[in-house]
């Protein structure tokens, strides 16, 4: 595959897109593990939601 004289622009576009997508994936994965950990800590301390108590 030959990208021609404007290869830098094409590579920069794909690199930036890959970076932004990777950042979004990392954000949802890390946020999920943080929320799960916080919920686990609260449940360990005996805190439960009202909807569960009912």
Partner 1 sequence: MALIDLANPTRFLRLVNRLLPWLAAVTVILFAVGLYRAMGAPDDYQQGATVKIMFLHVPAAWLGMMGWGLMSAAALGTLVWRHPLADVAGKAAAPIGAAFTFICLVTGSLWGRPTWGTYWVWDARLTSMLVLLLLYLGVLALYWTAEDPGRGARAAAILSLVGAVNLPVIKFSVEWWSTLHQPASIIRMGGATIDPSILTPLLIMTAAFTCLFFTLHFAAMRNEILRRRVRTMQLMQAQSLAEAGA
- List residues binding partner 1 (CB under 8 A): 1-7, 9-10, 12-14, 16-17, 20-21, 23-25, 27-29, 31-32, 35-36, 38-39, 42, 45, 47-50
CB of 54 to partner 1, least distance (A): 13
Letter string b/e over residues 18-47, b meaning 16 or more CB atoms within 10 A of that residue's CB: eeeeeeeeeeeeeeeeeeeeeeeeeeeeee
CB of 32 to partner 1, least distance (A): 5
Instruction: Return d(Cα 20, Cα 8) in angstroms, integer.
Output: 18
CB of 48 to partner 1, least distance (A): 8
């Amino acid at each position: 595959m030959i990208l021609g004289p404007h290869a830098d622009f094409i590579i920069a576009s794909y690199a930036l897109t890959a970076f932004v997508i990777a950042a979004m994936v990392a954000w949802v994965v890390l946020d999920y593990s943080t929320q799960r950990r916080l919920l686990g800590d609260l449940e360990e301390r005996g805190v439960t939601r009202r909807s569960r108590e009912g």
